[in-house]
Amino acid sequence: MRNNPLLNRYDIHTAILSNEKVAEDHYLLRCECAEIAHHARPGQFVHVLISYGAGLLLRRPFTIYTVENSQITMLYQIIGEGTQRLSEMSKGATLQVLGPLGNTFDIAKAPPELAILVGGGAGIASLMLLAAVLRARGIQTLGLVGAQHRARLLSVTDLKSIGIDVHIATDDGSIGHHGYITDVLAALLGKTERHRPTIYACGPHGMLAAVTKIAADFEVPAQVAMENRMGCAMGVCLGCVCPVRIDATHVEYQRVCTEGPVFNATDIVWDI
């Protein structure tokens, strides 16, 4: 993946416009960030300072879910004290938002005949802006959305609203395919002989490793957005590194916040 060519980063004090629960332990937050909205590209993220209070000194990274004029949205899951506190913040509460950060999904050099988006859990958040760009360019796009169970299913209505055919899988079979979304991916790739698809994925580490293997088995390109924990999100603290294969004998640790979060799937060394 190419590094982010956009040097513009903005640190904006803004007020929450809405912060609504959309699934079990998942919320969609909307805020006014005109400069970030103008420069945001699919796959990029923002770094949010939730509170100046004690105990929340570090910012939290959130993918830019959608862009609507001067507003951005963030789809997030409650996983700790910071996101718990964020979920309790109401309209009018203030945040400090830094972004856009990171590189982007690369669709310019080789636009796909067919795009297959694979999102596991909250990982689908990294693919919604990409979905909108693909559809705006007239590229046929399929959305594969996996969740633990029906109550945690995300983004299906949003994807369908822009004309994307959505396939669902849940671990417990409460809706859609009973099993992993990677099962659905493998089945679909076996039926796409007329098109050469490109896969774009985000989700848990194990899911991304499985997507990479399936893509290699079917000899189709895949790009993945990594979700490593971040400290500074500026490439300084080295807390978000992942092993990346440079050539047949050379592996180096690259920063997900700057060299990523998007990588070619086969460049990641999944078994380290």
Using a pLDDT cut of 90, give the percent of the chain over it: 82
The pLDDT value recorded for residue 119 is 98
Q: 115 with 42: CB under 8 angstroms?
A: no
CATH 2.40.30.10 domain residues, the chain: 10-101
Q: How confident is the model at residue 6 (pLDDT cuts 50, 70, 90)?
A: very low
- At position 53, the amino acid (one-letter code) is G
Tokens of 189: 């790739």
Q: Give which of 151, 156, 158 is closest to 167, Cα–Cα.
A: 156
Q: How far apart are CA 171 and CA 178, in angstroms?
A: 6
Describe the strand order of the beta sheet including 71-77 as a list of residue ranges: 60-63, 45-49, 94-101, 10-23, 26-32, 71-77, 66-68
Quickly count helices (H) and strands (E) in the chain: 6, 16
Q: How confident is the model at residue 5 (pLDDT cuts 50, 70, 90)?
A: very low
Q: 65 with 124: CB under 8 angstroms?
A: no
Average pLDDT (38-66) is 88
CATH 3.40.50.80 domain residues, the chain: 114-267
CATH topology of domain 10-101: Elongation Factor Tu (Ef-tu); domain 3 (2.40.30)
Model confidence at 1: pLDDT above 70: no
Torsion of Cα atoms, 58 then 62 then 68 then 69, to 10° = 40
Residue identified by tokens 């509170």 is 51
Radius of gyration of the chain from its Cα atoms, rounded to whole angstroms? 18
The DSSP output letter for 263 is: E
Note if the bond before 204 is cis, omega within 30 degrees. Answer: no
pTM: 0.94
Model confidence at 254: pLDDT above 70: yes
Average pLDDT (207-227) is 96
Residues 6+ apart with CB under 8 A from 127: 42, 117, 118, 119, 143, 200, 201, 202, 225
The pLDDT value recorded for residue 75 is 98
Q: How many residues would you count in the chain?
A: 272
Average pLDDT (226-238) is 90
Q: 6 with 25: CB under 8 angstroms?
A: no
CATH topology of domain 114-267: Rossmann fold (3.40.50)
Name residue 219's beta-bridge partners: none
Q: 172 with 178: CB under 8 angstroms?
A: yes
HSE, side-chain direction, 13 A CA sphere, residue 193 = 2
Chain-centre distance for alpha carbon 137? 20
